[in-house]
Amino acid sequence: MKAMKKQALGRGLSALLKDPENDIKSVEDKNADKVVGNIIELELDAIEINPFQPRTNFNEESLRELSTSIKELGVIQPITVRKMDYNKYQLISGERRLRASKLAGLTHIPAYIRIANDNDSLVMALVENIQRHDLDPIEIALSYQRLMDEIQLTQEQMSDRVGKKRSTIANYLRLLKLDPVIQTGIRDGFISMGHGRAIINIEDLDAQADIYHKIVSENLSVRETEALVKSYHEGTPAPALPENKTGAAASFEVPNDERLLMTSFFGAKVDVKVDAKGKGKITIPFRSEEDFNRILKLIKG
């Protein structure tokens, strides 16, 4: 019964907002206290995507799962929007819930109403997403950089805004100095942020690319990458990689070019291991059923 009253209240406030004589544009307007900060049922068609949204990748399988949950249980956590014009709203946070609700065939969604200027909206969107969603390291770095550029924040000020240590923010921002190919590798999961932090200590982009290809083709750990970068700076030969699990040298080596070719072909970090008898295995990772079917289609030709 309590949930039904809350739902009815949201519908009632929605009707209030659609009354031209009650068009609320600021917190000083009549009835603003009834709307701002409250949960209101809004039409999906009245909500536009926030241009400040830092997330650029949305996993389709995850969206479908969320859509199924919404069909069964409804939208449990309201989205947050800001009022733009008469019956027009811009999303501040909750784009996954908005997209999944559309997939579920809903016409309305519960939303918190905010009245904010562009800078407030940008800060709210970035902080909300950084705190609540699993953005990849490059998306997080781009979000921090956008805050610095558009609102003229220092790293210290940004640290206060997002609740992160200044050193943490600095480590993310340094990733943007990597070669674009390496940034893409981090986003796609071929290498980790730890690998990227090691590579960034090399200024020459060509040298960065060489080490990146070596990491991917030879499946180097972060510690092995750090040793490789150290040897580069010292001008010494690259440290020998550990022997394989058999404790003996492999009977043959798969050339780096061929490893990279497989990685490029499958769009995934292919791992090749060979034992002392010449036997081995090729491992092709996949992230979802959709990704598995994509790789299977490539194998079948």
Q: How far is CA 19 from the centre of its chain?
A: 38
Across 117-145, b (16+ Cβ under 10 Å) vs e yields eeeebbbbbbbbbbeeeebbbbbbbbbbe
List 28, 48, 61, 95, catalytic entry: 95
95 catalytic residue (yes or no): yes
Active-site positions read: 95
